[in-house]
Amino acid sequence: MDRPIGIFDSGFGGLTVARALIDLLPAEDYVYIGDTGRYPYGSKPLEDVREYASELAHSLVEDFNVKAIVVACNTATAAGLDHLRSELPIPIFDVVGPGASAVVQASRSGRVGVIGTVGTISSGAYVHAVEAVAARTNISAELSSAACPGFVEFVERGQLSGDEVMVLAERLLAPLAGAKIDTLLLGCTHYPFLARTIGEVMGPDVVLVSSADETAFAVRDRLAEMNLLRLRHDRGNRRFLSSGDVDAFRELGAALFGSDLVAAERWER
Ligand code: DGL
C-alpha cells in the first residue's frame, strides 16, 4: 500500500499523465522514468519498443518496488503489453483503453479522430480499442486517424508553439479537418503540450480529449478495489529519472511540469 506507483514514457510526454495522477492521488509516492536516452519510440520498430518497455517495467518492479505501473506511452502500449501483464505480479495500466473510452463518450456525432505516432497509428491499436468501447457502451463511433511524425520532437525540444509547429500541424491535420469529426483524441502523451496549436488548426467545433484524466481515474478505481491506495493524507514523494541527459531532463521537465520536478536522477540498468 505504501509502495510507489511507477510511470514511464519515452521522454516528457508521460508527464501529462503523471500530472493527472498526482493531482488526483497526491498522497501516493511516484517514480517516473523518461527514456530520453532512447526516444523517440514512435518511429522505431515495435519489437524494439516492446523490449524497452519490458526493461523499464522490470526496473520499476525490481529496483523501485512499485505496486503498479502506468505505461504513459501510447506507442509502448501499441507495441503490446501482454508479456508484461503475464510476467509481472502487479497491475499494469495503459493509456489507450482510457483514451478510446474518453473520445467515444465525449463525441456527440460519433465521428471521432485520433492522432498519434507512426507506431501507434500503424499498429491499429486505436481501431481495436474504439471498436471495443463502442461494443461495450452501445455507442456507434466512426474513427479517422492520422500519424503526426515530428510533433514529439518539437515537444522534446521544448518548442511548443510558433510558425514551424503551426505549419507542420496544418499539414498533418489536414485529412482530419476534412473528416467532419467533432472530437479528437490526442493519442500520444506528448501532444497535450501542443494542444493550443492543434486546437487552433482543428477549430472551435472540435473538442480535444487527452487520456491523462481518464487513465488517472482508472488507476484510482482499480487500486481502491485492490486496497492498494495509500491512505495517509500527507503529500507523497516524487522521483523523476531519465536515461538521457539528466540536467536537460530536469530543466525542460520543470518548465513543462512545474515545481514538483526540481530534481532528476539518472536511470540505468
Ligand atoms: N509519448 C509517446 C506516446 O504516447 C511516444 C513518443 C515517442 O517517443 O515517439 O506515443
Whether 37 and 156 have beta carbons less than 8 Å apart is answered as no
pLDDT in tens, 12-41: 999 999 999 999 999 999 999 999 999 999
Residue 260, pLDDT score: 86
- Phi/psi of residue 93, nearest 5 degrees: -100, 145
* CATH architecture of structural domain 5-94+213-266: 3-Layer(aba) Sandwich (3.40)
pLDDT number for residue 177: 84
161 Cα to the center of ligand 1, angstroms: 19
Pocket of ligand 1 contains residue 257 by CB under 6 Å: no
The residue extents of the domains of the chain are 5-94+213-266, 96-211
Residue 242 grid coordinates: 531519465
Stated length of the chain: 269
171 Cα: distance to centroid of ligand 1 (angstroms): 20
Q: Is 65 left (phi over 0), alpha (psi -120 to 50) or beta?
A: left
pLDDT confidence of residue 269: 82
Give the pLDDT confidence score for residue 2 in this predicted structure.
86
pTM assigned to the model = 0.95
What residues have CB less than 8 Å from 105, skipping those under 6 apart? 133, 137, 139
pLDDT at 22: 96
Per the CB < 8 A criterion, the answer to whether 214 and 182 are in contact is no
Residue ranges in the chain modelled with pLDDT below 70: none
Using alpha carbons, select from 180, 186, 212, 188 the residue that is nearest to residue 70: 212
Tell me the helix, strand and coil percentages in the chain, rounded to 5.
Answer: 50, 15, 35
CATH of 96-211, one of 3.30.365.10, 3.40.50.1860, 3.30.420.130, 3.30.70.20: 3.40.50.1860
| Residue 188 known to be catalytic | yes
96-211 and 5-94+213-266 share a CATH fold = yes
Q: How many CA atoms lie within 13 A of 117 on its CB side?
A: 26
